[in-house]
Amino acid sequence: MKLYLKIWRQKDANSKGKMVDYTMEGIEGDMSFLEMLDVLNEDLITKGEEPIEFDHDCREGICGTCSLQINGRPHGPDTRITVCQLHMRRFNDGDTIVIEPFRARAFPVIKDLIIDRNAFERIQQAGGYVSVNTSGNTVDANAIPIEKEMADKSFNAATCIGCGACVAACKNASAMLFTSAKVSQFALLPQGRVEASDRVRSMVRQMDLEGFGNCTNTGACEVECPKGISLENIARMNREYLSATAKG
């Protein structure tokens, strides 16, 4: 395959970035998208140019590190996968591929395709946990039976990998899907119920402070989420938030 790439290059957070063109030949369908970039980088280094920096780690769709906007879509043309799970067989000979970092004011670019997602960290730190010490002196794990349906829903919310595709997909750069997934995971479990009101208030407050936009129910986040986190979580968070603030 021969491909024409347009890739965002930016020296550092303070420099202005621009799209740069690269042409690649001999790309095989079995290569992953990131392996294609590896090949390009090897080539650039050999030619004495600086390679393109991009974030990636597990390369199996679970760590949530990779964060590329490909042809305008977070994680590329397929749904329910991350960039590292995307293979070149998805593209055709002669295609032009535009590669950018996830775009959001709360996710500033660090270099080339790498973004700063510390805003997500701070939202989690604001309350994304159950306040229980790790002494091991808790009750037996089976002391509180949990309805399977609730446990499964909680699990589904907990599958969020914190990649930020939801923010990148949203026209308002809203972090509601991300935040609501964590709120829901705990709100649905008896262990998390105890602090549910405080948690939702703190996390939503931090989310707003970070400069993420609001949700206007377009649902792009749900479509682009590699783990298929449902919009239902946003509805649940809104309800939790409303009842928590009503309580005062």
Q: Which two tokens stand for residue 48?
A: 């004495």
Nearest distance, CB of residue 233 and another protein, angstroms: 14
Q: Of the listed pieces 91-99, 165-173, 186-194, 239-247, which binds another protein according to CB under 8 A?
A: 186-194
Q: Stretches 25-33, 91-99, 172-180, 236-244: which one binds another protein (CB under 8 A)?
A: 25-33
* Residues 128/67/113/206 CA torsion (nearest 10 deg): -20
Of 126 and 215, the one with the shorter C-beta distance to another protein is 126
User: Which residues, including other chains, have CB under 8 Å from residue 135's CB and lie 6 or more apart?
Assistant: none
The three-point CA angle 12-17-21 to 5° equals: 120
Number of residues that bind another protein (CB under 8 A): 77
> CA distances (Å), 116 to each of 76, 120, 178, in order?
20, 9, 16
Name residues contacting another protein, limited to 133-172 (CB under 8 A). Answer: 133-136, 138-142, 144-148, 151-152, 154-155, 158-159, 161-162
Sketch the per residue contact string, 30 through 59, with another protein: x for CB under 8 A, - otherwise: xxx-xx--xx--x--xx-xxxx-x-xxxxx
DSSP per position, 55-109: ---SSSS-S----EEETTEET-SSSS--GGG-BGGGS-TT-EEEEEE---TTS-E
Q: Is 60 in the site for another protein (CB under 8 A)?
A: yes
In the region spanning residues 82 to 141, those forming contacts with another protein, defined by CB under 8 A, are 85, 87, 89, 110-111, 114, 116-118, 120-121, 124-136, 138-141
